[in-house]
Structure 1
Amino acid sequence: MTVFVIESPFQVMNAIEAVHHFKFKDNVLIVLLSGLFSKESYERIIDKKQWKEVRYIPFRYKLTNSDFGLHPPKNVYERMQELYLTLDRSVKKKVINNMCRSLGRVDNLVLGSYRRYYDIHMRHIANNVDHNRLFLIDVGTDTLEIGRQRIEEHNAGSGVLGDEPAKSLKSMLRDKLVEWDGTGVDSLTFFTSYDFEVSDPDRVIKNDYRYFKSLADRAAVSDCVWFIAQPLVEQEYLTHEVYVRYLAKVKQYFSGRPVFYIPHPRESGRYIDLARDEFGFETKRFDVPVEYAVTVGGSRPQCIASFFSSALENFAVIFGNRIDIKAFYLHVSDLLKNHESVDEVYSLYVSKGMDIEVVS
């Protein structure tokens, strides 16, 4: 049996590709409903006839802007928030532990994320489901970050560094009832469209989107441009002023051509309105991943553009030079964080000879 645990419709698309690539049998799909995507958005791309079982597990986080691990509560209100978050995590851990026990031993465990800090419940699942082999499907550019984290873990070693100090009863109870087990596994296999180095015994298997390529050939071509947005201000990559300046450059570059602005699920309505009202972009929304909409839908644009969205690489793999793909370069001096990571993405476009034009 192969079990997939995913948290976004895009991960469903990659799960479908993995089933076809590896010819997995007896496939179980588990969707953690975090609140970012509705159950209906998953149901639009999940054909239950293709799965042995499909489970939906409520997993919605609230008060996501509060991190009392970094900033201890300062007043009674914040102490109440901390207590709520502790109890909420305890409930979620019990739900996940019950799920893990219900699965028994599986041949392949396929996760939708494995980040060290933000998706630590996925690591907990890997440590609590008895499996023969662990796979990680693409999670956009976060896949590159996970690859770097895995190298750091291997370089640090997994041996015992010495006796751990004795824990208090409170700490032991918290570990048992509240905290996730974020210990890194010995090895995992990346199933990804990205090319990057990993350290032994991790492996990379190329996702060439062969299944979705076969569907893409049916799509008719329109003469418009789709600009795939990213929540760059919300995620603190750019200031508001700099982001507006880059949008103006995009508008100027495509002057005279019909451009559709494709909002990101985590993007603020403020920037969707700005793209429409100030720059005159038409907006086009999808309830499915944009890659899925193009390959399975009836038409595709003549040009796809963005900054460093993972969708660009996916389209390059699926369509090659049959679609015009442009990545607008964000200068290092304009970025507020992750300078090397972002530049690495642009370098991959060029060094790997992909059908992606980097526009300076």
Structure 2
Amino acid sequence: MKNLFIIRSPLQILNAYEAIAHFELKHNIFLIVQNHLEKNNVQMREMLSMCEYEELIEMPPSKSNYFRYVALTLKLKKQRYNFIFFGNLGSFQKLLLANLEYEKSYLLEDGTSTLVFHKELSEEKQHVSWRDIRFLLAGLHIKRKKPVDYFTIFDLERKGKEEIVQHSFEYLKLRFCQKFLLTNEIYFLGQNLVKSGWVSEEAYVYYIKTIKNYFKNEKIIYIPHRAEMIDSKLRRIEDENFIIFENTMPIELYFMQQKIKPKKILSFYSTSLFTLAKIFDKTLVISYGICLENIKMKKKMRASFIEKFILHAGIEKKEICFHDIN
């Protein structure tokens, strides 16, 4: 039987590589679901050569997906699968899990979203939206028949009969991480906190300046998130000790291909803090938590949720505040 990987991000490809090696999988189908962020799509294309697959299906972004989802579900439904791997819990993933015949399904690592999905999937009642109900008109099911298992770096609490396969990128490290050059640079992983509605632009730049001043005698390489827009205020703090480097691949893969082991890795609520703590050493990683009063109301609960796992992972955490938010 074949295995189906439903991929939406570069990090999911890294975890797909690890899963293929861990489970010794052959006959793999990769379904790449692209989005409107071209950087994301480019990174996924460049990384596909890492993985072993028999068939590649690419789904470009579109304003309307209903008929495409129905057609592709009916096409994929023609065969039975051993494993299905997915990293997001959107309408399309739910549709495939409800209609395809398979032995087991695993939620692939997609950073801190995994923590949110684990909470939702462990609930007895399945969430169904009006967008899901539309598929009943095409004669399709909208509720999955089997529980979801997990292939993750997180130490998740097992709930019910779910299987949790925890990994530390053992096979990825075996392939890439033989010898590293320890550098003197500190790498700061930027986050898309302004555009995604966590904090104001003024506050975000203030946080970066504060951290820059704390490490004033050190060289910092600032790597923007792929969805982050670099504005003029952030550009103005660039100097010989603070360099903005717009990397074109996931930071985990960049370090491994360049054989770089940074002096320190800093960020806010970045997934990469967890993955790099596994690939290197958690003593290299520092997570900066933002004062809850600085975080916009709709994001406060998510911030607290992520910080709980940061502490559980043993990652060093510091707090930073912007006192002039008005």
Task: Pick the TM interval, shorter chain.
Answer: 0.7 to 0.9
Q: Deviations over 1:68-111 (max 9, x none)?
A: xxxxxxxxxxxxxxxxxxxx233332343244235x10100111
Q: Aligned-pair distance for 1:147?
A: 1.1
Q: Aligned-pair distance for 1:47?
A: 2.1
AA matched with 2:13: V
Of 140, 144, 150 in structure 1, the residue corresponding to residue 115 of structure 2 is 144
Of 89, 93, 110 in structure 1, the residue corresponding to residue 65 of structure 2 is 89
AA matched with 1:264: H
**Is structure 2 residue 152 aligned with structure 1 residue 192?**
yes
d(CA) in 1 for partners of 2:56 and 2:141?
A: 23
**Is structure 2 residue 98 aligned with structure 1 residue 127?**
yes
d(CA) in 1 for partners of 2:238 and 2:36?
A: 30
d(CA) in 1 for partners of 2:75 and 2:208?
A: 44
d(CA) in 2 for partners of 1:335 and 1:308?
A: 12
Q: Aligned-pair distance for 1:57?
A: 1.9
**Is structure 2 residue 77 aligned with structure 1 residue 101?**
yes
The correspondence of residues 316-355 of structure 1 with structure 2, limited to 5 A, is 316-321=277-282, 324-336=284-296, 337-352=298-313, 354=314
Aligned to 1:163: none
d(CA) in 2 for partners of 1:326 and 1:180?
A: 47
Unaligned runs of 5+ in 2: 320-326
Relative to 1, partners in 2 of residues 1:181 and 1:225: Cα closer, same or farther, differing over 3 Å? farther
Aligned to 1:314: 275
Aligned to 1:113: 88
Q: Aligned-pair distance for 1:210?
A: 0.4
Unaligned runs of 5+ in 1: 63-87, 159-170
Aligned to 1:6: 7
Q: Aligned-pair distance for 1:33?
A: 2.1
Q: Aligned-pair distance for 1:211?
A: 1.2
Q: Aligned-pair distance for 1:185?
A: 4.7
The question of whether the paired residues in 2 share the 8 Å contact of 1:216 and 1:319 is answered with no
Aligned to 1:248: 209
Q: Deviations over 1:245-297 (max 9, x none)?
A: 22222212221211111111111232xx4323235431222222111111232
Q: Deviations over 1:101-135 (max 9, x none)?
A: 35x10100111212xxxx22111121122111001
d(CA) in 2 for partners of 1:184 and 1:246?
A: 43
d(CA) in 2 for partners of 1:319 and 1:302?
A: 11
Aligned to 2:178: 217
d(CA) in 2 for partners of 1:138 and 1:283?
A: 28
Aligned to 1:60: 61
AA matched with 2:47: I
**Is structure 2 residue 314 aligned with structure 1 residue 358?**
no
Relative to 1, partners in 2 of residues 1:233 and 1:198: Cα closer, same or farther, differing over 3 Å? farther
The question of whether the paired residues in 1 share the 8 Å contact of 2:126 and 2:143 is answered with no
The correspondence of residues 145-294 of structure 1 with structure 2, limited to 5 A, is 145-151=116-122, 153-154=123-124, 156=125, 175-177=136-138, 182-214=142-174, 215-270=176-231, 273-278=232-237, 280=239, 281-294=242-255
Q: Aligned-pair distance for 1:23?
A: 1.6
AA matched with 1:10: L
Aligned-pair identity (%): 20
The question of whether the paired residues in 1 share the 8 Å contact of 2:105 and 2:148 is answered with yes
Larger Rg: 1
Relative to 1, partners in 2 of residues 1:333 and 1:101: Cα closer, same or farther, differing over 3 Å? same
Q: Aligned-pair distance for 1:44?
A: 2.3
AA matched with 1:212: L
SS of match in other structure, 2:32: strand
Of 301, 318, 337 in structure 1, the residue corresponding to residue 262 of structure 2 is 301
Q: Deviations over 1:305-360 (max 9, x none)?
A: 10110100111111125x621111111222113323322322323234x2x21122
Q: Aligned-pair distance for 1:244?
A: 2.4
**TM-score normalised by L of structure 2:** 0.85
Aligned to 2:322: none
Q: Deviations over 1:164-208 (max 9, x none)?
A: xxxxxxx9877425x996535531111111122242122321121
d(CA) in 1 for partners of 2:253 and 2:152?
A: 16
Aligned residues: 309
SS of match in other structure, 1:328: strand
Relative to 1, partners in 2 of residues 1:128 and 1:274: Cα closer, same or farther, differing over 3 Å? farther
d(CA) in 2 for partners of 1:59 and 1:256?
A: 46
Q: Which stretch of structure 1 is more off in the superposition, 289-298 or 90-99?
A: 90-99
AA matched with 2:48: I
SS of match in other structure, 2:290: coil
